[in-house]
Amino acid sequence: MSISPIMAKVAEKLQRKDIPQVSPGDTVRVQVKIKEGDKERVQAFEGVVIAKKGGPQASLTVRKISFGQGVERIFPLNSKVIDKIEHVRSSRVRRAKLFYLRGLKGKSARLREIES
């Protein structure tokens, strides 16, 4: 089902241009704006991109291990909550969705870094 030309124009206008090109397997640092009371601060969430969804409602699923517990977060790419996304490193993967990393831990959960 295709979207109407009017919706396409609105979606194009709301697209952010400052988001770097990332793909599954990349390690990224997402700077997220957090509002606490009347103050606002920026908090970093660094992890591996395990899924990417495209289109006007594009999103990234980022996974990290925090205190031995796996934590995943889905970031809508065009959200105003994201301050910026930094690309830390790239890894060689053979799949578009890396959900198998959920079942791995330790050394087996490592991804091979791309030699550049």
Cα 71 to Cα 55: distance, rounded to the nearest angstrom: 25
Cα dihedral 81, 82, 83, 87 in deg (nearest 10): 170
On whether residue 37 sits in a domain, the answer given is yes
Give the domain extent around 98: 22-103
Q: For residue range 69-97, what is the model confidence (pLDDT) as tens digits?
A: 999 999 999 888 999 999 999 999 999 99
On whether residue 6 sits in a domain, the answer given is no
Q: For residue range 8-57, what is the model confidence (pLDDT) as tens digits?
A: 788 778 788 888 999 999 999 999 999 999 999 999 999 999 999 987 78
In the prediction, which pLDDT does 2 show? 66
On whether residue 61 sits in a domain, the answer given is yes
On whether residue 16 sits in a domain, the answer given is no
Q: List the beta bridge partners of residue 105.
A: none
pLDDT at 1 exceeding the cut of 80: no
CATH number at residue 73: 2.30.30.790
On whether residue 27 sits in a domain, the answer given is yes
On whether residue 2 sits in a domain, the answer given is no
Tally of domains within the chain: 1
On whether residue 26 sits in a domain, the answer given is yes
